[in-house]
Amino acid sequence: MSAIEYLGIGPNDPIDEALERADAAGDLDGVLLDFPPGTYRLSDGFSISPDGDFGIVGPRATFRLDPDLRCEVKIHDLSRGLFEGFTFDQRAGRAAVSVLLSTDGHIDARDLTYRGTAAAVDDDQGALLRPVAENRTASIRIDDLHARGGTNAGSHAWVGSDPPPNHVAGGIVGAFVGRANEGVVQFVDPVLHGWENGLYATRTRGAVQVIGGRFVNNNNTAVRISGAESFCDGATIVLDAQRWPDSHPGAFTIGEIQGVSAVRLETGGLDKSGTQLRNLDVRAYAMQKCPGLVVYRGSAGAGRMRRCRLTNHLDGTPAIVIDPPGAGPYSAPPGSQAVRMDHIEIRGSMTSAPAVRGSTERPNSLLADSCIRIPDAGPADVRAVRTRNVGYGADCTASQRIDSQFGVPSDVPAIRNTTVQPPSPGPGLPGLGVLVGLGAITAYVMATLPPILREKFRS
């Protein structure tokens, strides 16, 4: 149904007020709102929790924040949800929006876009997107999230206290999955450029699965991830301080005051391990501070890395760093601490550091069937990690080269978590049967709706 007519929105009426009024009256329960192409005003944050199923679609619809508005949009406690096609425009002043989507069933979110930078202003502004699958059987799938904008190269930490010298508190994260999430959240082909962490997902008890996508110059880390049911598959990650736009707010460029990595594995004290990295294409061209392209922190526990290419032009920076168990602020999880890597290609002009720096306290870590192509490559470029069939430079053989294409994910089912019931009848609102096509074509499949909901959608 048309959101303009259903909500009674005038030309300059804020949609936040209209949505909260409708929710308070129970008029959003079981409703899919269709916003026609156009620009709609967001004057404040809002919090709604329709009973049952709810959705908002709006191909070519833009929700524009008022100047300097820092707000939170909360759409929570849904049974099933569908959110597709709309844009948040936060280009006015220091505006920024944080969107919380939570469900005890399933949510599909597709083609969501954020426009504009978001300056750090020493406040506790949340991540652009915060999905929460509320229990072990809940799930959220996010396709084609786009946020090319960026914050200043500050720090999301230190809000409410004195930051270290030259840090700017309040940097905004691209997407955050925290402790409230217990189910599985998938990010499919996200595009995140220039945020204070692209995807921060090491503080969740659930699973986070990254399938494809492109991460460019996200300060601190592009992807932070943990847990045996979590993986990052087929992502392309670029670190290049020379491409940090002058339009980004703040006094610092990326990597100037804070070390930047492509992938960091850690658990935040949740005793998780076993994350899989595969088919990654990591490219590091220029960065003043970088602890390593892929970093296993002391709390990461065991891990698996397969079919990845790491291009490293950063002198003094290892491509892979594996810290001793328990190093850092959190203890190591119980069980194996081995990191197993196979079919890894490390190349580039890097010098003055090993390609792989491991730990003698993880004695079963292994690099196998891999090739290292850096200047004067040799066995000394792999430290404190066992090797098997590893080639160096021109001596790499056919068995040490990788046939698969990098930056392309494997064939991953819709939900790769056995504790989660896959959506039925496919992407959309399971059981509700709403399928939204590409572009502006929207089809409603009504057969599975209870009569009362069917009448609401027909209206």
Dig out the tokens for 361 from the structure: 């306290």
Task: Indicate if the pLDDT at residue 432 is higher than 60.
Answer: no
| pLDDT at residue 447 is higher than 60 | no
**pLDDT at residue 239, rounded to an integer:** 97
Burial of 224 from C-beta contacts in 10 A (0-12 / 13-18 / 19+): buried
d(CA 139, CA 249): 35
Q: What is the pLDDT of residues 388-412, one digit of tens each?
A: 999 999 889 877 777 667 888 887 6
pLDDT in tens, 60-102: 999 999 999 999 999 999 999 999 999 999 999 999 999 999 9
Is the distance from CB of 314 to CB of 248 less than 8 angstroms? no
Nearest to 375 by CA among 353, 348, 356: 348
Q: What is the pLDDT of residue 124?
A: 85
Residue 442 has pLDDT above 80, yes or no: no
Q: Which residues contact 141 (CB under 8 A, 6 or more apart)?
A: 106, 107, 108, 109, 185, 186, 188, 414, 415, 423, 427
337-342 mean pLDDT: 97
Going by pLDDT thresholds of 50, 70 and 90, the confidence category of residue 441 is very low
> Rounded to an integer, what distance in angstroms lies between the CA atom of residue 293 and that of residue 350?
12
Number of Cβ atoms within 10 Å of the Cβ of 364: 12
CA distances from 126 to 63, 122, 170, 200 (A): 18, 12, 9, 12
Residue 457, pLDDT > 50, answer: no
Report the candidate in 283, 257, 301, 296 with the shortest Cα–Cα distance to residue 407: 283
Asked if the model's pLDDT at residue 430 lies above 60, the reply is: no
DSSP collapsed to 3 states, the chain: CEHHHHHCCCCCCEHHHHHHHHHHCCCCCCEEEECCCEEEEECCCEEECCCCEEEEECCCEEEEECCCCEEEEEEEEEEEEEEECCEEECCCCCCEEEEEEEEEEEEEEECCEEECCCCCCCCCCCCCEEEEECCCCCEEEEECCEEECCCCCCECCCCCCCCCCCCCECCCCCEECCCCCCCEEEEECCEEECCECCEEECCCCCEEEEECCEEECCECEEEEECCCCCEEECCEEEEEHHHCCCCCCCCCCCCCCCCCEEEEECCCCCCCCCEEEECCEEEEEECCCCCCCEEECCCCCCEEEEEEEEEECCCCCCCEEECCCCCCCCCCCCCCCCEEEEEEEEECCCCCCCCEECCCCCCCCEEEEEEEECCCCCHHHEECCEEEEEEEHHHCCHHHCCCCCCCCCCCCCCCCCCCCCCCCCCCCECCCCEEECCCCCEEECCCCCCHHHHHHHHC
pLDDT at 412: 64
- At 427 the pLDDT is 32
Report the mean per-residue pLDDT for the chain.
87
Cα–Cα distance, 384 to 258 (Å, whole number): 27
Q: pLDDT tens digits, residue range 136-176?
A: 999 999 999 999 987 766 677 777 777 777 677 888 999 99
pLDDT of residue 453: 34
pLDDT at 410: 83
| Residue 390 to residue 379: CA distance in whole angstroms | 9
CB atoms closer than 10 angstroms to residue 16: 22
What is the token pair recorded at 245?
Answer: 């736009």
Q: What's residue 153's pLDDT?
A: 63
**Predicted local distance difference test score (pLDDT) of residue 169:** 81
Q: Distance (Å, rounded) from C-alpha 24 to C-alpha 32? A: 16
Mean pLDDT within 28-44: 97
| Residue 320 near residue 356 (C-beta atoms within 8 A) | yes
What's the whole-number mean pLDDT along residues 371-380?
A: 96
The backbone torsions φ and ψ at residue 279, rounded to the nearest 5 degrees and listed phi first, read: 60, 30
Neighbours of 135 (CB within 10 A): 15
Looking up tokens 């790491």 gives: 310
**pLDDT on residue 250:** 72
The pLDDT score that the predictor gives to residue 1 is 79
% of the chain beyond a pLDDT of 90:
72
Task: Kindly tell me the sign of the dihedral angle through the C-alpha atoms of 306, 345, 173, 109.
Answer: negative
Predicted local confidence at residue 391, as pLDDT: 95
Residues with Cβ < 8 Å from 72, sequence gap 6 or more?
45, 47, 97, 98, 99, 100, 126
Cβ partners under 8 Å of residue 244, min gap 6: 153, 194, 217, 253, 254
In the chain, the percentage of residues whose pLDDT exceeds 70 is: 88
Q: How far is CA 27 from CA 57, 76, 101, 449, 450, in A?
A: 17, 16, 19, 17, 16
CA distance 147 to 91: 12
Q: Which residue has the higher pLDDT, 432 or 182?
A: 182
How close are the terminal C-alpha atoms of the chain, in Å? 7
